Amino acid sequence: MINEGDIDFIRNSLDDIYTHRERPVTVKYFEIEYDPLTGVEIGRTESTREVSAVVTELSKGERANMREYENGVYIEQGDIKADIKIEQIEDIASKITQMSHSGREFEILSYVRKGIGERNRYELTGRELT
């Protein structure tokens, strides 16, 4: 069973766990403006934010013929998972549509809040755009 001391330890250890593993990532999202009377979309502005993430390329390895799902998404060779500290994108997480990493563009397939004891990061799954 996890107690408050364990949760505090995990919270304080997150920076150590991410040290030398984070890479720059640019997330793309849209700010949408709605007409206050009709609720109809009247404007859309594309925005970006530079954040740090632990990026992992997902690989099916020897199980190439197996179907694998993660967060309800079918995983393909070359998909990526980006773990981003919650405070970096909490205000825009649901609006993120794309992510750039290492000169490649990815569409966001899913985003999930993660953490043991308390939510401390988002896990975004991306598929390369061609």
Domain around 95 = 4-128
Cα(99)–Cα(26) distance, integer angstroms:
6
Cβ atoms of residues 101 and 125 within 8 Å: no
CATH number at residue 27: 2.40.10.270
Quickly list DSSP for 41-76: EEEEEEEEEEEEEEEEE---GGGTTS--EETTEE--
Q: Provide the domain count of the chain.
A: 1
Q: What is the pLDDT of residue 70?
A: 66
Q: Which of 17-31, 74-88, 95-109 has the highest mean pLDDT?
A: 95-109
Q: What is the pLDDT of residues 103-125, one digit of tens each?
A: 999 999 999 999 887 898 999 99
pTM score of the predicted model = 0.79
Cα(29)–Cα(27) distance, integer angstroms:
7
CA 56 remoteness from chain centre: 11
| Angle value at C-alpha 20, between 16 and 26, nearest 5 degrees | 110
Find the largest Cα–Cα distance for the chain: 56
CA dihedral 118, 28, 97, 123 (to 10 degrees): -30
The answer, yes or no, to whether residue 89 has pLDDT greater than 80, is: yes
| SS3 assignment, position 93 | helix
Average pLDDT of the segment spanning 47-74: 76
